[in-house]
Amino acid sequence: MHALTPAAERLTARLTQPPPALGVFLPAGFPAPGLDVETLRLLADAGADILEIGLPTPHAPLDGPTIREANRQSLAHGTRTEHVLATVRRTAETTDAIVLVMTYWEPVRVYGPQFAHDLAAAGAAGALIPDLPPPAVAAWTAAVRAAGLHNLQFVPRNGTDQELSTQTATASGWLYAPAATEPTGYQGQLDIPALRAFTGRLRQHSDVPVVTGVGVSTPELASLVSPFVSAVVVGSPIVRCLLHHPGAAGRLAAADATAIFADSVRHPATAAEIGEGSHHGSPPR
């Protein structure tokens, strides 16, 4: 293991001790410049252990309409990578939550090789780049390790054992096992046994903590998936509050939703409640 920054060490400590953590995703610059930090503080106060700050981009292949709309509004405000780093810094300085960044590769490529260093200087614990192209893996991994950050990995469920071995080999901090194979914002049923089996496969390849998100659309689902992961990450349910309720009402609704999710994650469902071989959630819509 490479030497880690204090922020990265905090992430390791939190994910390796019970109860499961709650992570909340919010794009930087949303709902408006400056209000992103205020909102993130409210979410931390409401129970978010981890704040995953998104770097907005118009090309977001894994995201559904809710996150794409939040990205669109953020970009319309003029949010750029420099503003995201400033949001990370202010959030890390003014909350007790662990701060991460989720971004697609193109903004990182455009920013240049300094990105990992600047991210560490801003106080982030690591970065998640779900579409990192294979030719860039070695250089990015070296940059992250030199900066003392965690190299967070998004691991699609349809990977072969060889692909999982390759993806987990460079991971640190967490392995992100999506709960659904749909884009973010999915509100349909989850195959809980399939997700549990996939987290088991990942643990055969790596001892890096496993977290889940994507499709964890309700507190009930958060309670059902939390027994076999180290953290549950939610994004669209919180962003949806801000889209549907402009102004202070939206921020308070997002904080209330975060508090309910946090309580659900920290009180996992029992094996009987999970139900072997069952699906859970609302019908797809």
38, 45, 49, 52: the catalytic one is 52
Task: Tell me the DSSP string of 14-28.
Answer: HHTSSS-EEEEEEET
Name the one residue in this structure whose structure tokens are 């709960």.
Answer: 179
The tokens of 254 are what? 């997002």
> Which of 36, 30, 214 is CA-nearest to residue 130?
214
Q: Is 176 exposed, middle or buried, given 0-12, 13-18 or 19+ CB atoms closer than 10 A?
A: buried
Q: Could you give the angle at which helices 248-265 and 236-244 cross, rounded to 10 degrees?
A: 160
Whether 263 is catalytic is no
Report yes or no: 123 and 92 within 8 Å, Cβ to Cβ: yes
| Phi, psi dihedrals of residue 269, rounded to the nearest 5° | -70, 155
Secondary structure letter of residue 134 according to DSSP:
G
Name the one residue in this structure whose structure tokens are 């029992």.
Answer: 270
Pairing of strands 279-280, 175-178: unpaired
Name the one residue in this structure whose structure tokens are 């953290």.
Answer: 231
9, 36, 38, 63: the catalytic one is 63
Report yes or no: 13 and 49 within 8 Å, Cβ to Cβ: no
> Which of 179, 188, 191, 190 is CA-nearest to residue 277?
191
Active site residues: 52, 63
